[in-house]
Amino acid sequence: MTDLVVVGSGLFGLTVAERMADRGAKVLLLERRSRVGGNASSAVEPATGIEVHTYGSHLFHTSNERVWAYVNRFTAFTPYVHRVYSTHRGEVFPMPITLGTINQFFRSALGPAAARALLAEQAAELGGKTPANLDEQGVSLIGRPLYEAFIRGYTAKQWQTDPRDLPASVLARLPVRYTYDNRYFNDTHEGLPVDGYQPWLERMVDHPNIEVRLEVDFLDPTQPFHRDALVGQVPIVYTGPLDRYFDAAEGELSWRTLDFEQEVLPVGDFQGTSVMNYPDADVAYTRIHEFRHFHPERRHPDDATVIMREYSRFARPGDEPYYPVRTPADRRLLLAYRARAAGEQQVFFGGRLGTYQYLDMHMAIASALTMVDETVGPAVGGSH
Ligand code: FDA
């Protein structure tokens, strides 16, 4: 007998399944893809033995002690610290914008106060006018020179839209550090799973109370674990796309997707770092990932490396949804779908697709733990 069906085996679904199984519930976990893990999953590239993050670089970081303690039950973490660089007009700069970036860019030796004053002066270009679009917003946050070098082209490529035609709200803030610290994340804990993402994710559901069914689409009416056969029969945690659950009856929520171009190169090191941004408009990709650099502690070949070029665009039907666009029209749709979701009997919507919001891994886990505590646990729990 099944006490709970979980649809989707990303970190949200895995956490719910594991916590509920630990409480004694019999869990059926359905996953459309051929392996568990959702977008955090990874695979070993066979020719080189290098672990590749299939859906783009995944860096684990959190300041949430409960989440940190929880994930450490399934994996240890390396001391990896993420740093990003950016190639602009043939020159490499540290990202995010730090005092190092500013002094390199302006060929200066400014201290923090002088750098702050320079950016404030450049940012005052609009003379107090409220920014009317993303371009003006960028200038008002960090001044035109740095905005045009590092943000404008990158944002245009991410959105495939001229920043003058994007709303100012897309760029709420642009972090600038007036120190030389170019550590990418500020969280208390950071690292990568010692033996890789996939073993970590698979260990989470290696439990006698969890049955995993791969290559099963909950929304495919031709298969037995279809929505219409299960809803109302058993509690369900659904982490697939919110609009698809309702057959897009209100319209489609819009997403950005990414295209990844993976290549094995016959060199021991291609770029000397894990992630290099390409903000210039004349380069089609936004970043290049080189996976060997995530694990300097591992033995990798001296004569081969794996890189992945990342391209960004609006998702079309059938594309993987990656980042919610959240236009005003999307927000209206979201409210309509939330109202529908509230009317579903014993169906709990969670995760980044089920709630139409970007979630880092630690946020997906935290939100799943809360759902188990507050709603799914009590709803299923009675007899356990
Ligand atoms: P996720 O998308 O992982 O899982 C949903 C699962 O549901 C998928 O496996 C899907 O196949 C399945 N599914 C959907 N519909 C279904 C259906 N009808 N039937 C059956 N199964 C179905 N986070 C971070 O902390 N650090 C990072 O560096 C990054 N980097 C990053 C890069 C990119 C490009 C993206 C898009 C995301 C990140 N993330 C990240 C975020 C991270 O990927 C995210 O936190 C998790 O994917 C969230 O887990 P979920 O379970 O919510 O969704």
Catalogue the active-site residues. 173, 177, 256, 287, 310, 358, 360
Query: What pLDDT score does 383 carry?
Result: 47
Q: Is 38 in the pocket of ligand 1 (CB under 6 A)?
A: yes
Q: Is 41 in the pocket of ligand 1 (CB under 6 A)?
A: no
Give CA–CA dist 303/95, Å, rounded: 28
143 secondary structure, DSSP code = -
Give CA–CA dist 127/112, Å, rounded: 24
> What separation in Å is there between the alpha carbon of 10 and the centre of ligand 1?
5
| Model ipTM over 0.95 | yes
For every residue of 86-124, DSSP letters joined together read EEETTEEEEESEEHHHHHHHTT----HHHHHHHHHHHHG
135, 247, 289, 294, 315 from 306: Cα distances, Å: 35, 39, 8, 12, 26
> What separation in Å is there between the alpha carbon of 345 and the centre of ligand 1?
25
Q: Is 11 in the pocket of ligand 1 (CB under 6 A)?
A: yes
Residue nearest ligand 1's atom 6 by CA? 8
Q: Which helix (H) or strand (E) element contains residue 238? A: strand 236-238
- Structural domains of the chain, ranges and CATH numbers in brackets: 4-81+189-254+324-382 (3.40.50.720), 89-171 (1.10.3110), 262-314 (no CATH)
For the whole prediction, is pTM greater than 0.90?
yes
Q: Is 349 in the pocket of ligand 1 (CB under 6 A)?
A: no
Residue nearest ligand 1's atom 41 by CA? 360
Q: Is 291 in the pocket of ligand 1 (CB under 6 A)?
A: no
> What separation in Å is there between the alpha carbon of 177 and the centre of ligand 1?
30
Q: Is 42 in the pocket of ligand 1 (CB under 6 A)?
A: no
183 closest CA partner among 51, 92, 108, 79: 79
Tens digit of pLDDT per residue, the chain (384 long)? 899 999 999 999 999 999 999 999 999 999 999 999 999 999 999 999 999 999 999 999 999 999 999 999 999 999 999 999 999 999 999 999 999 999 999 999 999 999 999 999 999 998 888 999 999 999 998 999 999 999 999 998 888 888 888 888 888 888 899 999 999 999 999 999 999 999 999 999 999 999 999 999 999 999 989 999 999 999 999 999 999 999 999 999 999 999 999 999 999 999 999 999 999 999 999 999 999 999 999 999 999 999 999 999 889 888 889 988 888 889 999 999 999 999 998 999 999 999 999 999 999 999 999 999 999 999 997 545
Residue nearest ligand 1's atom 46 by CA? 361
